[in-house]
Amino acid sequence: MNPSFSTYLVNPPFGDPGLYVEIRWARRALLFDLGDNAALSPTRLLRAMDAFVSHTHMDHFIGFDRLLRIALGRGKTLRLYGPPGLIANIEGKLRGYTWNLVDGYPLTIEAREFHPRQIRTAVYRATEAFQPAEGPFEVRPEGEPFPVLVDPMFTVSATSLNHRIPSFAYVLQEKFHVNINKERLHAAGLPVGSWLKEVKQHLWDGKPDDFRFTATLYFEHRKEEREFALGELKESFVTISRGQRIAYVVDARYDKENEAKIVALAQGADVFYCEAPYLDQDADKAQERYHLTARQAGLLARKAGVRELVVFHFSPRYSGQDDLLYKEAQEEFACIGERG
Ligand SMILES: [Zn+2]
Ligand SMILES: [Zn+2]
């Protein structure tokens, strides 16, 4: 089965944190955190027009400038999501430059800042020299984690962690996975191609079985328009299975409340990306700086019952000792039931 999301860290574990999630076949990506992103090519960055910011400490936000620069003049809309303070920080960044010659550069920035009960929104347009335009306040759904972006194919939800300031952790949940059986298509004399993307989109949009649509099929020497009923295709070629779940947790201290929120967020994740800046021998330092240790990352992964744990955001104090951080996290993750 081909997973819909392929995920990788933007930087090596001692570099700025960030997760790039490619939605395969969709030419679209999601970016979690905006730290240094020089490692991402312009093409990749331009696909990531939804950026989820954990908080605006420099190592999580300095990459905003590069994203902005690359997106300028591309006719794009850049959507940013994050905790209280995000809008002020975006405005601070935008006010740091002169914008008198960008009125021909169509770029729109939409910001959504999630407070405990409401969502503050703002829009900035290059054609208006990025003068802030406050949008309407919206009601934030109650509970944790709460939805931040709802797409027909997936939902991104967040939970607010204590990092002495709010630090958002995120989870990406694919609604369900659609797998199309290529052998059966072949046996039925049907080609693969972009029409299958349309089929998937109709399924994610929740179209009924009797929904009929016309698709363009490309055979080796000809193309053909053919009408299908969604239900028939589903019956013959489609397998629907559990969707992928990817969790991203950075910058939070270990306490009961954070633990409960992280475990709920990461519950059953296929991959759990978790910060692990400190070794357990420096747990007091970690606590003081509102960060996790590698052992705590392993413990959280175990409690959440995730399939795979990836630790990152290592403190430079352990330069050359990354193997110790990996080992500590994985040992704690694997030692089922030995410790609380
Ligand atoms: Zn931080
Ligand atoms: Zn950080």
DSSP letters, 268-306, are T-SEEEEE--B-GGGHHHHHHTT--BHHHHHHHHHHHT-
Tell me, in angstroms, the distance from the centre of ligand 2 to residue 84's CA.
17
Determine the pLDDT at residue 111: 97
CA within 13 Å, CB half, 184: 10
* 234 contacts 181 by C-beta, under 8 angstroms: no
CA of 181 to the centre of ligand 2 (A): 43
Q: Are 158 and 166 in contact (CB under 8 A)?
A: no
Which pLDDT belongs to residue 336? 57
Distance from Cα 29 to the centre of ligand 2, integer Å: 22
Q: What is the pLDDT of residues 81-92, one digit of tens each?
A: 999 999 999 999
Cis-peptide into 116, omega within 30 deg? no
Structure-block tokens of residue 194:
């972009």
Q: Model confidence over 201-238: pLDDT tens digits? A: 999 999 999 999 999 999 988 999 999 999 999 999 99
Name the nearest CA neighbour of 3 among 268, 238, 244, 247.
Answer: 244
* Site of tokens 């093409």: 43
Distance 254 CA to ligand 1 centre (A): 14
Q: Which ligand is nearest to the CA of 275?
A: 2
Q: Give distance in angstroms: CA of 16 to centre of ligand 2.
A: 7
Ligand showing the shortest atom-to-Cα distance for residue 56: 1
Q: In this prediction, does ipTM exceed 0.95? A: yes
| CA 7 to chain CA mean position, Å | 9
Q: How far is the CA of 252 from the centre of ligand 1 (A)?
A: 8
Q: Is the dihedral of CA 27, 180, 154, 56 positive or negative?
A: negative
What span, in angstroms and rounded, lies between the C-alpha atoms of 105 and 168?
31
Average pLDDT, 10 consecutive residues per value, the chain (340 residues) = 91 98 91 98 96 98 96 91 97 93 86 96 93 90 94 96 97 95 93 92 93 92 92 94 97 97 98 98 97 98 98 97 97 72
Distance 250 CA to ligand 2 centre (A): 7
Instruction: Using the mean position of ligand 1's atoms as its centre, give its distance from the Cα of residue 337 in Å.
Output: 31
The CATH architecture assigned to 5-175+243-331 reads 4-Layer Sandwich (3.60)
Shortest CA distance to 144 belongs to which of 171, 173, 111, 113?
171
What distance in Å separates the CA atoms of residue 165 and residue 143, rounded to the nearest whole number?
19
